[in-house]
């Protein structure tokens, strides 16, 4: 898949999918994220709110926390965050505050998505940072993983 980042969006999304699948195997909702600077993955995360007893332990937050430690700063400018599911309001706000340059996500989330599905945090004019947002990368694969996870629990 060709893209502005030199054709790497699908490659990095596949890595995020690996983290999502691992989360699902642990009984967490299968969402994964990777934070990339240049062409290097500097951090990754997967959903872990159930095991950690932490409602903020979404894949995006875990990747942002690890990225901050890796870079020695809470400002993550010049990075791209790849996540398998459209971020929620909490995660979208954290992405903005971390100054992530670009967000790429897989499946849309019609129940909680904050990049256009129920609201668009990234378009709020009052915020002082803009994130370049692109959704739908490997959307079918990302959606299938979530669908299989929830079907197995019904």
CB burial readout 21-57, b (16+ within 10 A) else e: bebbeeebbbbbbbbbbeeebbbbbbbbbeeeeeeeb
Contact between 101 and 131 under an 8 Å Cβ cutoff? The reply is: yes
Chain centroid offset of residue 69 CA: 17
Q: What angle do CA 113, 119, 122 make, to 5 degrees?
A: 90
Which DSSP category does 107 fall into? E
Specify whether 151 is catalytic.
Answer: no
| Residues in Cβ contact with 124 at an 8 Å cutoff, skipping those fewer than 6 apart | none
Of the listed 28, 60, 62, 86, which one is catalytic? 60
Catalytic positions, written as ranges: 60
């Amino acid at each position: 898949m060709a893209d502005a980042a030199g054709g790497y969006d699908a490659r990095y999304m596949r890595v995020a999918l690996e983290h999502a699948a691992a989360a699902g195997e642990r009984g967490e909702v299968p969402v994964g994220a990777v934070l990339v600077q240049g062409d290097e993955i500097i951090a990754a995360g997967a959903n872990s709110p159930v095991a950690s007893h932490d409602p903020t332990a979404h894949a995006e937050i875990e990747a942002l926390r690890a990225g901050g430690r890796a870079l020695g700063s809470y400002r993550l400018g010049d990075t791209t965050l790849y996540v398998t599911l459209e971020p929620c309001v909490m995660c979208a706000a954290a992405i903005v505050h971390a100054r992530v340059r670009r967000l790429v996500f897989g499946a849309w989330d019609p129940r909680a998505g904050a990049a256009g599905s129920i609201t668009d945090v990234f378009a709020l004019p009052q915020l002082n940072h803009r994130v370049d947002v692109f959704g739908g990368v490997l959307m079918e694969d990302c959606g299938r993983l979530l669908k299989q996870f929830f079907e197995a629990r019904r």
